[in-house]
Amino acid sequence: MRTRPTLSWSSSGPSLPRTSTLTDVVPIVAQGGVVVLSGAGLSTESGIPDYRGEGGSLRKHTPMTYEEFTTSQAGRQRYWARSHVGWRTIARARPNAGHHAVTRLSSKLSGVITQNVDGLHQAAGTGNVVELHGGLDRVICLDCRLLSPRVELDRRLREANPDFAATTDEINPDGDVFLPEEAVRGFEVVGCLECGGVLKPDVVFFGENVPRPRVEQCYSLVDGARSLLVLGSSLTVMSGLRFVRRAAGAGLPVVIINRGETRGDQFASLRVDLPLGTSLTELAELVL
């Protein structure tokens, strides 16, 4: 059974009191055993906009859904044309100060669960990262399940579409962009080199379920943690919110560092409203 995508939420109660200092965060992180749950807000300083923050891409563009991708050839053509353009931005992106601070804090972390598909945690040198929603650097065949590098597909798409020259500055965190219909018309989509089947980025689309073994791996991390630190996520989708609820239900401190309120505020011990790059850099300095 596929879930319906959750694109927005409305606060149903008073917001959690927020702070602009890290005073109460430091002792929680310093004791170690921290599991980080990161979202798109952590990558905005790397030039990848988030979905729901100020200027978020959902204000202008609805992400591709699993149902549309798997049932519509025109939808796949539109997606791959747009993602072919967006991949250039994702591939150029580099870890920012927030990613590097998480890496510096590695000795205090028992794991990182990221909702991001940009690979920037790994590029910054962070280990034990679970990509909850997959990674854009890989492509999977929906028929034979073969995994292949995105750079290989990028080369094949360039060869198949030598005259395709569309550009845009409007990109989603999943590498999708906005292009007018006339720009994608005629774009040639290529199939799996092994079986000719349908290729899909190895990411979880809106409306698609996260593989159960991956969910269980994340639950195991949370169950063995001393605290949960949420970075740059509105927690709108249940795929991330469930780990906040799990931690809170077990009595673990849940700290959220995010610009603006989140769907998980009611489960949090503390919410810090600060820019991620500077606040995480300061947190690493204070803890270490």
Binding site residue list for NAD(+): 39-59, 115-118, 232-234, 258-260, 276
Would you call 133 a catalytic residue per the annotation? yes
Backbone φ and ψ for 110, nearest 5 degrees, come out as: -100, -5
Sequence-separated (6 or more) residues with CB below 8 Å from residue 270: 16, 19, 24, 25, 253, 254, 255, 256
Binding site per annotation, positions for Zn(2+)? 141, 144, 192, 195
Query: 170: which residues sit within 8 A by CB, 6+ positions away?
Result: 57, 60, 61, 177, 178
Dihedral angle computed from the Cα positions of residues 279, 100, 48 and 68, in that order, rounded to the nearest 10 degrees: -110
Q: Which of 84, 100, 121, 133 is catalytic?
A: 133
The type of residue at 135 is: G
**What's the rounded Cα separation, in Å, for the pair 114 and 168?**
26
Going from the C-alpha of 35 to that of each of 22, 133, 185, 285, the distances in angstroms are 17, 17, 45, 19
Positions at the binding site: 39-59, 115-118, 141, 144, 192, 195, 232-234, 258-260, 276
Pairing of strands 254-257, 227-231: parallel
Q: Which residues are catalytic?
A: 133
